């Protein structure tokens, strides 16, 4: 396949329903009212030369290259800013226009370094193309006049450079940063000849507000803003459409290649989740795929205190299978299990759970979603009937009030955040419920109408109070509730929610939010038009995570905000395929499609296809596997793409469990923290090295396409298949598409999904079946999947994790834009430049009371353990609350967190830990040592730190 070239129509498509008929150069076309003349011409296949126009941006009309003549109108209007009109007759090519365009081009070219042959954009430059299109042959002004050719390059950004000598001041970059990204980092400084693009007076790109999303680089028609990888490697020569492997937004990219080397990842305009936008991770942070730390050979060792020994794949697989068989013979069928990965494809996840259920003969399979969004599955299934968000991302364009709870979209889900900010700039209202003043509360041209800075752990109380106001002030959408919901449940819930204990005045003292603020926010959400709720791990990672999800669902049902575009309950899923790993049956009690293993009809369906009897008993969850290991009944674990030592709570518990097992198998890209406790290491493959699908937060199933051979020799699905066969199963998939066919056969919500359908439609949002053959953008239209929506009572129960004299502050945790979860990938890219260490954010008064200054080392201690990190004093924090990220292993954030978890799903309570902070002289000896350790020494260090 060659390079995929996407057509640039110059301006955005018209959205009106009324069609307008125009004639362009003798050809007729009907286009929606409001379409530009330039776009209408492009749709006819007529290219009008352009420089400042591009279809990702609003038209601007500055370069004057796209001039046309319109019969009956004076002059030569710019086609990019002129909308079509009924009966309009347009001429795009004649001698007069050609002369005018050449004149414009002459001015640009006279102030341009004519180094086309050696320029990194040679062959991919719109200025070069435009010069050719207008037939420029000479520059009458010469090249000796005043010019910008000596301007200094800004190479401060690790991924792209800015070479002002090549800038034509078309403002596409400035507008991309404003309109697409919403960061407003760039301006045009000066005027006339002195105009120049600037990331802030005297600032470099790196030091500016720029968040390295790459939108300006993509928009730039010249080599002014250019990826350093293109400068170093050269222009790509073929490309493939694939899906980002970082977060649950699921951006589509063109992987542009030279041979087997990625030159750049370019966001794909046809991507339904991102519409051509990206963030710094997906756009630039793919270098980990070829990082020197990658392990590409299998390794085994008899004891975890032994050194690793490289072996062949055959030996590693045979050894693993023999060990698992030995363990089961000695300790019983239930003594082994597996953990699936939300980083791997649907097909890979499906195979791991199949291996466990059909090969191991038990249901001991769990997933890292256990530690993030398992409450979402529980809460939404019990209220609406489906364990997933209700909308597509496009829905936010029709939202009037956006309620963000426990999510930080500008850092965690940046491409969706840009979309949300655009809607907010258009006038939608915003309510933020978060202990921290996240960026959305006040960002360029966006300001939250209400910020409810609640105390961590009081989500249920605050949402109940919002519902209390809605019910007691008569703001319920009664028609919706009567028609769509179970009225008996509603009556019971309404009686509960109107109790005085749920009033804003009653909860204000415990949640720390003024009652008046809660009342105003409730009224706005209930009466402001389409109300859309977006939430994240700040909702789920609590002892009442499932209750909070249910409370959110109650709120949406009570106000009729379900079942149409612009509304809904939208969990912002963390990892790229966390939705998919749950859909694929990764939990110990559910087959794919969320069907309980005890359901005879479902089990029989799987038994018929897999040709083995299956257990109807739910298996062990991750924490229970580790408990069983310590008590001597669970001895073997296959972990695909998951670092439980670093990402799961209570490190001591994890390491004790792993250390007690006889065969821990880790399949990953790098020797992660968990691998320190492994007996077998099976090298993993990156998303660039395999075919498959990911499912994003919108339930959107998207293709992942192989662009290079796996460095380790196999895709992860092939490794699982090898292991399955070595254990005596008969697994013979020739391609992941065959696995998807089996998923579709066994999973009603995936019935219509196939690689052929995905290739045809681009992506599919499940459910996809006979009734919805092209998928379902909006869930619960007309009726809930469960039938009548169920209101469930949500008593607020304070977490057992309490502050007191010893631990008076509350710690909460989160992510930042440039890093991703435990940082295994992003720390191995230049993204590390933006976040070299995790910091502890502290309110100025809390810092002052403890004699702590900005940048000081502080000891952070909880009942569970202690660690040391540097302080960042900021009034973003509420008084009494501290915050840190967890991207660096030496921070050991999970040494601090407790083992409290969600009552329904065991999802750990990462977001509330009572702590004390005090000045410290520096990192602990352990932290210093840890940074310089590897392998066995790290294992000892991790275990030691946990004790």
**Residues at the interface with ligand SF4 (CB under 6 A):** 167-173, 176-177, 181, 183, 185-186, 197, 210-216, 219-222, 224-225, 244, 246-247, 249-251, 274, 278-279, 281-282, 414-415
CB 243 to ligand SF4: min, Å: 8
* Residue 61 near ligand FES by CB under 6 A: yes
80 makes contact, choosing from ligand FES, ligand SF4, none, with CB < 5 to 8 Å by partner type, with: ligand FES
Q: According to the binding rule CB under 6 A, does residue 12 interact with ligand FES?
A: no
**In the numeric block, which tokens belong to residue 189?**
């400084």
Least separation in angstroms between residue 52's CB and ligand FES is 3
Nearer to ligand FES, 131 or 210 (CB): 131
Residue 887 binds ligand FES, judged by CB under 6 A: no
The CB density around residue 209, as the number of other CB atoms within 10 Å, is: 15
Q: Is there a contact between 407 and 413 (Cβ–Cβ < 8 Å)?
A: yes
> If contact means CB under 5 to 8 A according to the sort of partner, which of ligand SF4, ligand FES, none does residue 53 touch?
ligand FES
The dihedral built from the CA positions of residue 144, 147, 152 and 154, taken in this order, carries a sign that is negative
Tokens 């959110």 locate to: 552
92 vs 647, which CB is nearer to ligand FES?
Answer: 92
The two three-digit tokens of residue 27, written as one number: 């050809």
CB of 170 to ligand FES, least distance (A): 7
C-alpha of 81 from chain center = 35
As measured in angstroms, the least distance from the Cβ of 80 to ligand FES is 3
Which segments of 447-583 does DSSP mark as H helices, in order? 459-472, 478-484, 487-497, 504-511, 515-527, 537-540, 545-558, 578-583
Residue placing its CB nearer to ligand FES in the complex, 65 or 524: 65
Residue 50 contact partner, candidates ligand SF4, ligand FES, none, CB within 5 to 8 A by sort of partner: ligand FES
CA distance 177 to 185: 7
Residues that bind ligand FES (rule: CB under 6 A) add up to a total of: 12
Interface residue with ligand FES among 42, 52, 245, 257 (CB under 6 A) is 52
**Going residue by residue from 711 to 750, which x/- string records binding to ligand FES, judged by CB under 6 A?**
----------------------------------------
Of 51, 285, 311, 811, the residue at the interface with ligand FES (CB under 6 A) is 51
Closest to ligand SF4 by CB, 189 or 478 = 189
Shortest reach from residue 65's CB to ligand SF4, in Å? 13
Residue 599's SS3 state is: coil
Instruction: Say how far apart CA 750 and CA 678 lie, in whole Å.
Output: 35
Q: Which does 215 bind (CB under 5 to 8 A by kind): ligand FES, ligand SF4, none?
A: ligand SF4
Rounded CA-CA distance 252/579 in Å is 17
* Adjacent-strand bridge partners of 533: 403, 569
Q: Which is nearer to ligand FES, 78 or 485 (CB)?
A: 78
Residues from 438 through 457 that contact ligand FES (CB under 6 A):
none
CB 363, min distance to ligand SF4, A: 31
Q: Which of the choices ligand FES, ligand SF4, none does residue 169 contact, using the CB cut-off of 5 to 8 A by kind? A: ligand SF4
Give the residue, chosen from 50, 112, 573, 790, that forms a contact with ligand FES under the rule CB under 6 A: 50
- Closer of 212 and 906 to ligand SF4 (Cβ): 212
Element (H, E) at 695: strand 692-695
CB of 39 to ligand FES, least distance (A): 11
CB distance 395 to 565 below 8 Å? yes
| Closer by beta carbon to ligand SF4, 205 or else 606 | 205
64 is a site residue for ligand FES (CB under 6 A)? yes
Please tell me the total number of residues recorded for the chain in this structure: 947
Name the minimum Å distance from CB 276 to ligand FES: 18
Distance CA 445, CA 421 (A): 9
Q: What is the separation of C-alpha 25 from the centre of its chain, rounded to a whole number of angstroms?
A: 45
For residue 174, state whether it binds ligand FES (rule: CB under 6 A). no
In the list 44, 56, 66, 526, the residue contacting ligand FES (rule: CB under 6 A) is 66
Q: Burial level of 107, CB count in 10 A (0-12/13-18/19+)?
A: middle
Shortest Å, Cβ 816 to ligand SF4: 12
Least distance from C-beta 88 to ligand FES, angstroms?
Answer: 17
176 binds, among ligand SF4, ligand FES, none (CB under 5 to 8 A by kind): ligand SF4
The pair of structure tokens assigned to 414 is 């940046």
Rounded Cα–Cα distance for residues 250 and 676 (Å): 31
Tokens of 226: 């250019």
User: And the tokens for 846?
Assistant: 């809390």
Q: What are phi and psi of 232, to 5 degrees?
A: -80, -40
| Least Å from the CB of residue 534 to ligand SF4 | 14
> Least distance (Å) from ligand FES to the CB of residue 48?
8
Cβ-based nearer residue to ligand FES, 62 or 891 = 62
Identify what 90 binds: ligand FES, ligand SF4, none; CB under 5 to 8 Å per kind. Answer: none
238 binds ligand FES, rule: CB under 6 A = no
The interface partner of residue 64, options being ligand SF4, ligand FES, none and the CB cut-off 5 to 8 Å by kind, is ligand FES
Burial class (CB in 10 A: 0-12, 13-18, 19+), 588: buried
In sequence order, what DSSP letters do the residues of 710-762 get, joined into one string?
A: -TTSS-HHHHHHHHHHHTT-----SSHHHHHHHHHHH-GGGTT--HHHHHHHS
> For residues 53 and 448, which CB has a smaller minimum distance to ligand FES in the complex?
53
Q: Choose, by CB under 6 A, the member of 40, 41, 53, 665 that binds ligand FES.
A: 53
Question: Which of the listed partners (ligand FES, ligand SF4, none) does 183 bind, with a CB threshold of 5 to 8 Å by partner kind?
Answer: ligand SF4
From the list 48-56, 523-531, 623-631, 827-835, the region that binds ligand FES by CB under 6 A is 48-56
User: What are the structure tokens assigned to 394, written together?
Assistant: 């496009």
Partners of 264 in the beta sheet? 256
Query: CB 399 → ligand SF4: shortest distance, Å?
Result: 19
Residue 851 region by backbone torsions, left for phi larger than 0, else alpha for psi between -120 and 50, else beta: left
> Kind and range of the H or E element at 282?
helix 280-284
Nearer of residues 180 and 355 to ligand SF4, judged by Cβ: 180
* 227 vs 486, beta carbon nearer ligand SF4: 227
CB within 8 Å of 32: residues ≥ 6 apart: 13, 14, 15, 16, 17, 18, 19, 20
Measured over all CA atoms, what is the biggest interatomic distance in the chain, rounded to whole angstroms? 92
| Nearer to ligand FES (CB atom), residue 76 or residue 874 | 76
Give the Cβ contact number of residue 447 at 10 Å.
12
Q: CB nearest ligand SF4: which residue?
A: 282
Interface with ligand FES, residue 78, by CB under 6 A: yes
DSSP state, residue 93 = -
Q: Distance between CA atoms of 617 and 202, rounded to whole angstroms?
A: 66
388 vs 361: CA distance, rounded Å? 29
Q: Which of 31, 42, 57, 80 binds ligand FES (CB under 6 A)?
A: 80
CA nearest 454: which of 799, 879, 848, 840?
Answer: 879
Do residues 454 and 790 make contact, with C-beta atoms less than 8 angstroms apart? Answer: no
Chain residues in the site for ligand FES (CB under 6 A): 50-53, 61-66, 78, 80
């Amino acid at each position: 396949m060659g390079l995929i070239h996407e057509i640039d129509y110059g301006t955005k498509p018209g959205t009106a329903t009324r069609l307008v008929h125009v004639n362009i150069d003798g050809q007729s076309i009907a286009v929606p009212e409001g379409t530009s003349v330039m776009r209408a011409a492009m749709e006819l296949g007529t290219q009008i030369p352009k420089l400042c126009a591009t279809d990702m941006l609003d038209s601007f009309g500055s370069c004057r290259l796209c001039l046309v003549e319109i019969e009956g109108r004076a002059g030569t209007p710019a086609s990019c800013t002129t909308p079509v009109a009924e009966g309009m007759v347009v001429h795009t090519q004649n001698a007069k226009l050609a002369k005018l365009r050449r004149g414009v081009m002459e001015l640009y070219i006279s102030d341009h370094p004519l180094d086309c042959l050696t320029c990194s954009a040679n062959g991919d430059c719109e200025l070069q193309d435009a010069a050719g299109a207008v037939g420029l042959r000479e520059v009458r002004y010469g090249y000796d006049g005043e010019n910008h050719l000596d301007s200094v390059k800004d190479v401060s950004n690790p991924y792209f450079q800015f070479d002002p000598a090549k800038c034509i001041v078309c403002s596409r970059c400035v507008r991309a940063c404003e309109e697409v990204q919403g960061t407003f980092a760039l301006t045009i400084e000066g005027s006339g000849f002195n105009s120049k693009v600037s990331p802030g007076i005297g600032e470099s790109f790196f030091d500016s507000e720029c968040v390295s999303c790459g939108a300006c680089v993509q928009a730039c028609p010249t080599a002014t803003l250019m990826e350093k990888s293109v400068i170093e490697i050269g222009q790509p020569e073929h490309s493939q459409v694939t899906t980002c492997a970082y977060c649950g937004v699921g951006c589509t990219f063109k992987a542009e290649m030279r041979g087997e080397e990625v030159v750049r990842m370019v966001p794909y305009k046809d991507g339904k989740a991102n519409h051509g936008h990206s963030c710094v991770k997906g756009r630039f942070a793919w270098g980990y795929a070829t990082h020197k730390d990658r392990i590409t050979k299998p390794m085994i060792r008899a004891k975890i205190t032994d050194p690793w020994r490289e072996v062949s794949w055959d030996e590693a697989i045979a050894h693993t299978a023999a060990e698992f068989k030995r363990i089961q013979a000695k300790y019983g069928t239930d003594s082994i299990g597996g953990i699936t990965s939300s980083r791997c494809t649907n097909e890979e996840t499906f195979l791991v759970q199949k291996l466990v259920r059909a090969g191991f003969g038990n249901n001991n399979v769990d997933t890292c979603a256990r530690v993030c969004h398992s409450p979402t599955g529980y809460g939404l299934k019990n209220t609406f009937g489906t364990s997933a968000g209700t909308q597509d991302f496009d829905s936010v364009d029709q939202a009037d009030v956006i309620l963000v709870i426990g999510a930080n979209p500008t850092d965690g889900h940046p491409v969706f955040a840009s979309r949300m900010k655009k809607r907010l700039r258009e006038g939608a209202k915003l309510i933020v419920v978060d202990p921290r003043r996240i960026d959305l509360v006040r960002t360029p041209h966006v300001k939250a109408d209400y910020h409810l800075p609640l105390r961590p752990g009081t989500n249920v109380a605050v949402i109940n109070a919002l519902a209390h106001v809605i019910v007691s002030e008569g703001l319920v959408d009664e028609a919706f509730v009567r028609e769509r919901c179970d009225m008996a449940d509603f009556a019971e819930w309404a009686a509960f929610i109107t109790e005085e204990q749920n009033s804003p005045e009653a909860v204000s003292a415990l949640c720390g939010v003024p009652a008046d603020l809660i009342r105003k926010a409730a009224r706005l959400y209930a009466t402001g038009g389409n109300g859309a709720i977006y939430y994240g791990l700040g909702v789920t990672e609590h002892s009442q995570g499932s209750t909070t999800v249910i409370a959110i669902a109650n709120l949406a049902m009570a106000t009729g905000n379900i079942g149409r575009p612009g509304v809904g309950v939208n969990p912002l899923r963390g990892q790229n395929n966390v939705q998919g790993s749950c859909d694929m049956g990764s939990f110990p009690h559910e087959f794919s499609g969320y069907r309980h293993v005890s359901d005879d009809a479902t089990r029989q369906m799987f038994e018929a296809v897999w040709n083995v009897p299956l257990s109807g008993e739910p298996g062990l969850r991750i924490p229970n596997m580790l408990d069983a290991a310590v008590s001597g009944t669970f001895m073997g674990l296959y972990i695909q793409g998951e670092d439980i030592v670093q990402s799961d709570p209570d490190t001591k518990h994890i390491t004790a469990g792993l250390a007690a097992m006889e065969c821990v198998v880790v399949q990953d890209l790098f020797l992660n923290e968990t691998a320190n406790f492994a007996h077998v290491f099976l090298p993993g493959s990156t998303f660039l090295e395999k075919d498959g699908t990911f499912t994003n937060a919108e339930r959107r199933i998207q293709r992942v396409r192989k662009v290079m051979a796996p460095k380790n020799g196999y895709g992860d699905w092939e490794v699982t298949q090898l292991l399955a066969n070595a254990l005596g199963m008969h697994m013979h998939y020739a391609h992941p598409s065959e696995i998807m066919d089996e998923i579709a056969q066994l999973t009603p919500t995936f019935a219509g999904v196939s690689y052929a359908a995905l290739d045809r439609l681009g992506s599919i949002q499940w459910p996809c079946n006979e009734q919805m053959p092209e998928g379902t953008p909006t869930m619960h239209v007309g009726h809930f999947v469960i039938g009548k929506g169920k209101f469930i009572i949500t008593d607020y129960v304070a977490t057992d994790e309490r502050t007191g004299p010893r631990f008076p502050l509350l710690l909460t945790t989160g992510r930042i834009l440039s890093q991703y979860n435990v940082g295994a990938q992003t720390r191995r890219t230049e993204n590390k430049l933006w976040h070299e260490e995790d910091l502890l954010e502290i309110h100025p008064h809390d810092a002052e009371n403890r004699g702590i200054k900005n940048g000081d080392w502080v000891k952070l201690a909880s009942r569970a353990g202690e660690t040391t990190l540097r302080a960042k004093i900021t009034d973003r924090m509420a008084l009494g609350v501290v915050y840190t990220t967890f991207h660096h292993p030496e921070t050991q954030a999970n040494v601090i967190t407790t083992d409290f978890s969600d009552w329904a799903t065991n999802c750990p309570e990462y977001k509330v830990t009572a702590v004390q902070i005090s000045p410290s002289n520096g990192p602990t000896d352990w932290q210093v040592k840890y940074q310089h350790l590897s392998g066995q020494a790290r294992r000892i260090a991790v275990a030691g730190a946990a004790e």
